[in-house]
Chains A and B, each alone.
Chain A
Amino acid sequence: MVAITMAGALNRALHDAMDEDDRVVIFGEDVAELGGVFRVTDKLVERFGTDRCFDTPLAEAGIVGTAIGMAMYGYRPVVEIQFDGFSYPAFEQITSHLAKMPNRSRGTVRLPVVVRIPFGGGIGAVEHHSESPEALYAHTAGLKIVTPSTPSDAYALLRASITSPDPVLFFEPKRRYWAKEDVELPVETEAIGQAVVRRAGTTATLISYGPTVATCLEAAAAAAEEGWDLQVIDVRSLVPLDIDTLVAAVGATGRAIVVHEASVFGGIGAEIAAELLERAFYLLEAPVLRVGGFDIPYPASRLEHYHLPDVDRILDAVERSLAY
Chain B
Amino acid sequence: MKRLSLFTKCLIIFVGCWVFLRFIVGNVISVPIPGSVVAMYMGLIIIAILVHISVEDSRFREFLRPIHETLIDDNKRLRRRVIAVLIPFALLAYTYSIFAQRANPPGNPRDAHPSPPLELTYKDEVIGKMQEVENPFRHYEKDDPEAFKAHVENGRRVYYQNCFYCHGDDLDGQGHFAPHLQPLPANFQDPGIIPNFQESFLFWRISKGGPGLPAAGTPWDSAMPVWEDMLTKDEIWDVILFLSDYTGYQPRTFGEGH
A binds B: no
